[in-house]
Structure 1
Amino acid sequence: MSDTNAAPVVCLHSSAASGRQWRRLVADGGPAWPWHTPDLYGHGSRPDWPELMPNRLSVEANGVLAGLPFAADRGFHLVGHSYGGAVALQVALQQPDRVLSLTLYEPAAFGVLPVTEPREPALREISEAAARLDATLDRGDEFGAARSFCAYWQGRDVWPEMDAAQQLRVAEAMPTVRRHFEALFAAPWRSGLLGQLLMPVQLICGTATRASARRVAQNLALQLPRARLQMLEGAGHMAPITDGARVNALLLESLARMPCVPVVRLRQRGAEAGAAFR
């Protein structure tokens, strides 16, 4: 049983995964927090992306917010990995007064790359990966797209190491992952927007990750006012799944030092206290 006084922790998974990605984190964290690990659209038990809705992070964020199992005025912490990390940032932008903190492992906020350095090699790298996925799906080869997608993020071809059920699950997610790429590149994170997020942000990045993920983390660390970037030696992009023990230790350490009251409410309380002395 969780501590009913503790703020909930909402964990958002990476592309082609599901909320089950966080099982070990929930077990490691135990009853210290109420945990919520939803499936995102087109993943796990969640229906596909809503028909006629644009490929935008706001659509995913609205779905997350609509599914929260607690009161609409209750504050909560956000944990996210890769695409889930980018969705977490979008949720925070939409409801900054409720988000107590962000703890993100390599959020795939590719929309920050063109703004900061248009000729950045990391942008070319991830753009080429997205283009390969598009071209392979256009040929009707979901398994080929899945194999290429996994190889990019793992840094090697891991497809032969996956069983048939895993391969099928990832392949079936590829049309939704194409939507993810479009939403990530289209995110309007222009100069000054991320600067409005005043909650503490813990960014975690592996030293053995892809250039695109590393550059995004570095750029976010510069744009988010209260961000702290921590490097995890030898870890790759998929470390929350492949190296869960080390990553979870950092995530739980981060959550333990986060505030229980949003910055907005702290300001309000300060203003009320000041008024009382006038």
Structure 2
Amino acid sequence: MLDRVKQKAGIFVKGNVDGDAVIMLHSSLSSSLQWRTLETKLSEDYLTINIDLLGYGSAPKVEQPEGYTLATEYSRIMNAIESVIGNKPFHLVGHSFGGANTLKIAVQNPERILSLSMYEPVAFHLLEEGTQARKEVLEFAHIVATSSDEQAARHFTETWNRKGFFDNLPTKVQQLMVRDIDKVNLDFIGLISEKYTLDDCAKILAPVLLMHGSHSQEISGEVIKRLLKVVPNVTECEIQAGHMAPISHAEEVADIIINTIRV
């Protein structure tokens, strides 16, 4: 058994070195800490690789923002995975922006995926040009990009949570979110510019769990609607919560994911 150790900056490995690996990716303006409950529950039987995405937690910042795409995240994530388990297969868990990244990993490595569990992946590039859903995403991204850092952090967090959420946070947490808002803008750029298609997603044959909240914004479910039509081995699960259920309902979400991993 491994205690939670810092393998590299922002990459945490824990658990059973003889077990299958579970890779965990968090949402924007969050960190690997959001998966701590799931990490702990899995550590006896699985090897968890819990990753801070670039610009969040203890991960390094993006070195060349002008050239940022999801491939930037992908390269670092895959290097981390291979440094720990080589070319062995693995499970994937992702939430929101992390979900979009796990989907990209699964599309590019379908033969290595044991299971894929996603809570409201924001793979917004899968929304067709000219649709109302895509227009809403672009408008949201524009507001975040053109507002002051504090207003952008407030708008972003209140869109995915509820009105007044940001102002009720501790000052230290607010300051961290304001600090990291530039990376949120890069996240949107990476999401919209991504190239894998729904047809590519149809090639994922491993068990796929698509979770969503009953209280989430409509835009959160648009990507899921499209994935449900094309992914062959998919299970849908609705939770009585919002977009941030992996944090607000960590125990419930963890238990649902574990059931998929253990199938």
Match of 1:220 in 2: 227
Counterpart amino acid of 1:44?
G
Identity across the alignment (%): 29
User: Letter of the aligned partner of 2:88 in structure 1?
Assistant: R
The match for 1:147 among 150, 154, 162 is 154
**What is the match of residue 101 of structure 1?**
115
TM-score normalised according to structure 1 size: 0.85
Match of 1:47 among 60, 64, 81: 60
1:119 is matched by which residue type in structure 2? Answer: T
Give the unaligned 5+ runs of structure 2. Answer: 2-14
Contact persistence 1:82–1:105 (CA under 8 A): yes
Q: Residue 247 of structure 1 aligns with which residue?
A: 253
The count of residues paired between Structure 1 and Structure 2 equals 249
The 3-state SS of whatever aligns with 1:192 is helix
**Could you tell me which of 53, 72, 78 is aligned with 1:65?**
78
Match of 1:196 among 200, 203, 219: 203
Q: Of 192, 210, 216, which residue of structure 2 is paired with 1:185?
A: 192
CA shift in 2, pair 1:36/1:243, >3 Å: same
Counterpart secondary structure, 1:229: strand
- Please identify, of 170-179 and 3-12, the stretch whose mean Cα deviation from structure 2 is larger: 3-12
Query: How far apart in 2 are the matches of 1:81 and 1:167?
Result: 21
1:135 aligns with 2:133: no
* Higher gyration radius (CA): 1
Match of 2:19 in 1: 6
Within a 5 Å distance, the mapping from 1:253-268 to structure 2 comes to 253-257=259-263
Aligned partner letter, 1:246:
E
Residue 207 of structure 1 corresponds to which residue in structure 2? 214
**Counterpart-to-counterpart distance in 2, 1:218 and 1:205:** 11
Name the SS for the 1:79 alignment partner.
strand
What is the CA–CA distance in structure 2 between the aligned matches of 1:84 and 1:241, rounded to whole Å?
13
**C-alpha RMSD of matched pairs (Å):** 1.6
After superposition, the C-alpha distances for 1:142-169 in whole angstroms (9 at most, x for unaligned) are 1111011000000322012111111111
Matched with 1:124 is 135
Separation of aligned partners in 2, 1:32 and 1:161? 38
Structure 1 residue 96, shift from structure 2 partner: 2.2
Q: What are structure 1's unaligned runs of at least 5 residues?
A: 258-278
Distance 1:114 1:149, change over 3 A: same
Q: Distance in 2 between matches of 1:135 and 1:63?
A: 29
The 4+ residue runs of structure 1 with deviation greater than 4 A are none
TM-score (norm 2): 0.89
